A and B are shown apart, each in its own frame.
Chain A
Amino acid sequence: MSAPTGSTGQHAEPEEEFYTWTGKTRRWVLKKLPPDKLLPQDQPSYVASWIYVFGMGAIASLVIIIVSGLILSLNGPLWWHVSGFGHFINSTHLWSVEFFFLFMVVHLWGKYWMAAWRGGRVLTWITGVVSFAVSIVAAFTGYLLQTNFDSQWIAFEGKDALNAVGIGAWFNVANLGQIFMWHIVLLPLAVAAIVAFHVILVRVHGVVPPLDAADTDAQLQPAPQPVPQAQTLQQPTEEPTEVAR
């Protein structure tokens, strides 16, 4: 339930009172990530550069990885040895992973050299690093599922390293069934969740501006806060800002 308070003008938004945890959560989410920030119509003008496309390239590759991986997992790890279509899907899976890492590394370089952790974006940077690390583990388990001499070799080289750090009993790279579960359930869920959180953080804080962006850029100013109606009426019309469409 809500109770409008203090609205006298016909253009005023009624102020809503939040007293349940769901209502308070909604208020917090809408404050942190209003719909126009979650799904923006425009981006700042500095985003019109090729260096800003590699994050999206990595996400597009991840979508292809998940779709091709889903088809492979439904048919089992041996399917690609006996089916031409299976071989094609397996190759699609491999090459989308190659592109995923390629785009992710160029994205990482771009963000490193523009110090993308500025402006309260530390968690965005950290989630990017974590997603990179978890993706490496996911790719490693993928190599273990090839069911050929390569995967045998990788498993029996890797097991010594994992035993040395004391996790070989829980993460046994010589156990095909266990690694299959890690590769098609736990690690994809982890990568997808971290990447989704990473993208949401980018939406919350906005795309990081270049180092030499002028402090007067409209995109660098904090988002306008809702103001009481009496003040709203006295505000001058906001100047349009330069945006890339």
Chain B
Amino acid sequence: MNSLLALAAGESPAIYLGWGDFVIQLGNFVVIIVMLVLFALALVLPFPAAKRRK
């Protein structure tokens, strides 16, 4: 837990992921995945019904 907090506070060296020549920082990778998930959910999730006016 402390290591996670230290990581979040920027006190530890960044974690890098690599596949062959492709290297990406973990934080950037997470943000890109979150964006893709949000985009997909926005297309499939139903939008809440509007409140009816009185």
Contacts and interface: CB of A to CB of B under 8 A. Distances in A.
A and B pair up: yes
Interface of A: 48-51, 53-54, 98, 102, 105-106, 109-110, 150, 244-245
Interface in B19-35: 31, 34-35
Nearest to B37: A106
Rank and list the top 8 A-B pairs by shortest CB-CB distance, nearest first.
A50-B42, A51-B42, A48-B47, A245-B50, A106-B39, A106-B38, A49-B47, A109-B39
Given A98-B31, A102-B31, A102-B34, A110 B53 contact: no
Dominant SS among interface residues on chain A: helix
A106 B35 contact: yes
Contacts, number: 35
Nearest to A48: B47
Contacts of B10: 150
B27 to A, nearest CB: 9
Contact of A244 (B39, B41, B45, B50): B50
B34 A50 contact: no
